[in-house]
Amino acid sequence: MKALVKDKPEKGLTYKNIPTPQVSDTDVLLKVKAAAICGTDTNAYAWNDWAKNTYKNLPFVLGHECAGEVVEIGAHVNRISVGDRVAAETHVPCGDCYHCFNGMQHICPSMKVLGAHMDGCFAEYVVIPEVCARKLPDTISYEEGSLLEPMGVAMRPVWEGNVPGETVLVIGCGPIGQLAISLAKAMGCHHLFACDVNEYRLNLAKEAGADVIINPTKQNPIEVVADMTDGLGIGVSIELSGSDQGIKTAFEILRKGGNVFISGQPKGPVELDLGRDVLTKEARVRGFHGREMYQTWELAESFVTTKKIDLLRVVTHRFGMDNCDEAFRIVKEGDGLKVLFLPEGVE
């Protein structure tokens, strides 16, 4: 099969023929119909310091956000059948630890990650464990299915933020930020602010439902929010940029008794004034690491099947895998949102 392989400790991927993967007794083999580029994939492509410390098993096939058709199943697979349309869960839990037994498979200490610890989905075929195969409703397309995983990252802080009637700030208006904005609007938040340094993404955030867009290189977010909330501040800060300043702003802009939800992954330690921004505010702080298995999938699917949000609005580009350099350039330079690989070709 054709695949995009990280086979050298340097920038780029190699588009090459490799053997089609074989299923074990508990695996399913997917013919990949759509796969999406994630920010972590761009780190591996660039081979930056984060990637060097994360990916230890070169060569491997990159990619973890995908949907496809099941073409083969292992001997002990019972829930999934050949011909099923499925989306892939990125986290591969061990199934035999405290966290797995207590509904926290997504933070299993022995967890493996598709496209990192095992070959991923930037290929014509990918093997995933049956436990990570989520059947798609007939009303959800393969392209939408490939986006349910990143949508779940946006879903958790918005859902757990209890946003109906609240003043909400989304920091970071990339693909996940755009989905968070759409979800917050669909859930009935009172007033929605969006913050980013990229004007293109801010304009898309406005189209997605943000009431106020803020570019911190041109405006002071704290002053803008204070002016529009009579000095009260934000009730729910959702940080998705991973930048040091974005995280600090999420706390500084918060009203007393507010919530800070962080899904953006910082590159290193972040200095905070805990006394001022957490203790005296009695702030509630929560970090998120991907989706819950399987509650988040149920929620995300329900918002797509009932047309509460248009999931495909975040897709700006589609490529064949042979054009991966241009696909990754668009993601890196912020010239688009979600970029999809379609292994069977782009019409």
Going from the N-terminus, what domains does the chain have, and what CATH number goes with each? 2-146+310-341 (3.90.180.10), 153-287 (3.40.50.720)
What is the average per-residue pLDDT within 259-283?
92
Q: Helix/strand/coil (H, E, C) string of the chain?
A: CEEEEECCCCCCCEEEECCCCCCCCCEEEEEEEEEECCHHHHHHHHCCHHHHHHCCCCCEECCCEEEEEEEEECCCCCCCCCCCEEEECCEECCCCCHHHHCCCHHHCCCCEEECCCECCCCECEEEEEHHHEEECCCCCCHHHHHCHHHHHHHHHHHHHCCCCCCEEEEECCCHHHHHHHHHHHHCCCCEEEEECCCHHHHHHHHHHCCCEEECCCCCCHHHHHHHHCCCCCEEEEEECCCCHHHHHHHHHCEEEEEEEEECCCCCCCCCCCHHHHHHCCCCEEEECCCCCCCHHHHHHHHHHHCCCCCHHHHEEEEECHHHHHHHHHHHHHCCCCEEEECCCCCC
Q: What is the pLDDT of residues 59-95, one digit of tens each?
A: 999 999 999 999 999 999 999 999 999 999 999 999 9
Position 279 scores a pLDDT of 96
- Percent residues over pLDDT 90 in the chain: 90
Q: What is the pLDDT of residues 305-318, one digit of tens each?
A: 999 999 999 999 99
Q: What is the pLDDT of residues 9-66, one digit of tens each?
A: 999 999 999 999 999 999 999 999 999 999 889 999 999 988 998 888 899 999 999 9
- Confidence grade of residue 323 (pLDDT, cut at 50, 70, 90): very high
Reply yes or no on whether the pLDDT at 122 is more than 80.
yes
Position 102 scores a pLDDT of 94
Q: What is the pLDDT of residues 162-172, one digit of tens each?
A: 999 999 999 99
Position 39 scores a pLDDT of 87
